[in-house]
């Protein structure tokens, strides 16, 4: 049906290079899932989001994440980090990146922290478990 068409155009669809690069990071986590929501690709630990590709109503390349409370003030001093609309009210931040540019080492660390903020204990045990 035509009424089922998405009301939110996807700036960073599943096959966008930025989405693909974020997916490679996020889907390595235990029980990670990718879900399209509100016109964006989101990554979840169970039912809880830990990363979102793109920022609502913005075309800029950015990834949203949940920062560590102690790191938040330092992150906000960076020129490439900002409080996104909507999720920002719930403590989320966003970092500007492109598929081929930006601080991807930092983003990988931020996604790890974000996952750990929402993951279930069994997911954290799987993540940190030994090979024994």
pLDDT at 11 (0 to 100): 79
pLDDT at 8 (0 to 100): 56
HSE-up of residue 10 (Cα within 13 Å, Cβ side): 18
CA of 43: how far to CAs of 4, 15, 73, 77, 78, in Å?
A: 23, 15, 24, 26, 24
Q: Where are the domains of the chain?
A: 10-121
Rounded Cα–Cα distance for residues 52 and 63 (Å): 6
Given the DSSP bridges, would you call strands 32-37 and 40-45 parallel, antiparallel or unpaired?
A: antiparallel
Is residue 5 pLDDT above 60, yes or no?
no
Q: Give the model confidence (pLDDT) of 22-81 as tens digits.
A: 999 999 999 999 999 888 899 999 899 999 998 877 778 999 999 999 999 999 999 999
CATH classification number, 10-121, choose in 3.40.50.300, 3.40.50.620, 3.90.1150.30, 3.30.70.2500: 3.90.1150.30
Whole-prediction pTM value?
A: 0.88
């Amino acid at each position: 049906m035509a009424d089922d068409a998405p009301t939110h155009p996807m700036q960073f669809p599943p096959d966008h290079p930025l989405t693909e690069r974020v997916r490679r990071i996020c889907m390595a986590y235990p029980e990670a899932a990718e879900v399209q929501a509100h016109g964006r690709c989101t990554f979840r630990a169970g039912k809880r989001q830990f990363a979102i590709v793109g920022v609502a109503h913005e075309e800029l390349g950015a990834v949203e994440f949940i920062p560590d409370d102690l790191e938040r003030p330092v992150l906000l001093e960076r020129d490439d980090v900002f409080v996104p609309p909507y999720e920002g009210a719930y403590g989320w931040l966003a970092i500007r990146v492109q598929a081929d540019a930006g601080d991807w080492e930092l983003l990988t660390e931020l996604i790890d922290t974000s996952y750990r903020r929402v993951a279930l204990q069994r997911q954290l045990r799987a993540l940190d478990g030994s090979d024994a």
